[in-house]
Amino acid sequence: MNGNGTLTLTAGKFAIGSNTLTLRGAVVNTVNEGLTGSAGSNLVVDGILSPTLSLDQTTPGTTNALSSLTINNALATVTLNRPITSATVALTAGSLVDNGNQVNSTGTMAFAAGLFKLGSATAATTWPGFTTNTISAGTTVEYASGVVQTVSGTPAYSNLTLSGAGN
């Protein structure tokens, strides 16, 4: 499914099942449930507009996983409402904000540019257990936490920012 207009979610969930959802337009999510997927689902945030997407990949009592999450839009911010599991995470432009929700993966991470922000004012998260880590010069990793947070010694960071009131 490709979305070229505006997708507004004000109640309920938008489930992509085991399909690929490519978002190229404005995306507004005003509820905590948000977008869900299952094994085999691929989410691509692409295009030239400014999507702000809250991603709720794991719902209580279920185990859902994205096959891949790709963010390729300098104006896009994808914020997690709950922890996610994804085999592949690619960031070529834009921001992925874990919001204190752990990103779980044993697959591949490829960050060419953009921002990956770990932690929140009330929760610390750790570096995901990717098997392969590639962080290019245009990528910033920010550990932003109001509580004690451990900065991983691997991978090698291109740009590292520490913020928040935590240690």
Model pLDDT for residues 63-78, shown as the tens digit of each residue: 346 777 888 877 777 8
* Total domains in the fold of the chain: 1
In the predicted structure, residue 33 carries a pLDDT above the cut 50 = no
Which residues sit opposite 80 in a β-bridge? Answer: 55
Question: Which residues share a beta bridge with 162?
Answer: 143
Average pLDDT in the chain: 73
Domain region containing 149: 2-163
Cis ω on the peptide bond leading into residue 155 (within 30° of 0)? yes
Cα 160 to Cα 151: distance, rounded to the nearest angstrom: 10
Distance of CA 121 to the CA centre of its chain: 17
Distance, CA of 44 to CA of 23 (rounded, Å): 6
